Structure 1
């Protein structure tokens, strides 16, 4: 009986310790601090309106980002400073597995970007390299839009 109580206490302490750990971040995004939901999603320039929202409209092409499995490049369409769509211009597609991951991950990444109105989005599990390339290309497109 005493052994069972000690085992249960030990396991409970281990579970609490594991739950207290923070999740890992992608290496390229480790220095990025999350923004509050009320803050502007884009960096402000001195010429930006005082409301913190850019009025930029148009389609902006992000830099092509080389990943382990191929190049990722996106174009973001903005209307009055809001992301309305993200089109993938290049994605890894060298084999069936690349095509399968891209067809699964890229629509989810676009949905996340439109929902977050920024490039500060979560990577898709199983497509870490593609997600990282997508995020970096999207950020470069948004930087162009707000330059």
Structure 2
């Protein structure tokens, strides 16, 4: 009888420990909610936390001559935060810079290392946010296109046919 009681208590303890274990693959596994900020190389985003400049997290537009730089809003996806910045010159999108992409774990980094440059290339070729999602990076793709579309709207960008 004593062995059964010890076995039962040990089983309960193991079950409690298993249910209380937190993995790092959840969308809110970091205190910042999974968003990242800062760039170390083109298309690669590093660091963690909220956007560096909270005033820019909602989207802003800066005009200088014929050049416009518009920040899209931070879009919260199930994998983390996504935010982009669109550079427009001469009525064309000339560059798109990722300000934040999910970067909580190695899987996020590997997915976005491939997906972000592909999204950028497609958007520059299309000259709009109307692009296909990248297979395997659906959440990032949807956040990227929403943030980009909002940036283009705030800059009053009209694609030329």
On whether the aligned pair clears a TM of 0.5, the verdict is yes
Offset at residue 80 of structure 1 (A):
1.6
Q: In structure 2, do the counterparts of structure 1 residues 135 and 56 end up closer, same or farther at CA, with 3 Å as the change threshold?
A: farther
Runs of at least 4 residues off by over 2 Å: none
Paired with 2:139 and 2:147, the residues of 1 have a C-alpha distance of: 12
List alignment gaps of at least 5 residues for structure 1.
1-54
Q: Deviations over 1:37-80 (max 9, x none)?
A: xxxxxxxxxxxxxxxxxx96311000100000100000000002
Structure having the higher helix fraction is: 1
Q: In the TM superposition, what are the counterparts of 1:30-109 in structure 2 within 5 Å?
A: 57-109=67-119
Structure having the higher strand fraction is: 2
* Structure 2 residue aligned with 1:146: 156
Paired with 1:105 and 1:96, the residues of 2 have a C-alpha distance of: 14
List alignment gaps of at least 5 residues for structure 2.
1-64
Residue 146 of structure 2: SS of its match in structure 1? helix
Paired with 1:109 and 1:56, the residues of 2 have a C-alpha distance of: 25
In angstroms, what is the RMSD of aligned CA positions? 1.5
Matched, 1:128 2:149: no
Residue 121 of structure 1: SS of its match in structure 2? coil
Number of equivalences: 93
Paired with 1:78 and 1:135, the residues of 2 have a C-alpha distance of: 16
Q: Which has the higher contact order (CA 8 A, sep 6+)?
A: 1
TM-score by length of structure 1 reads: 0.61
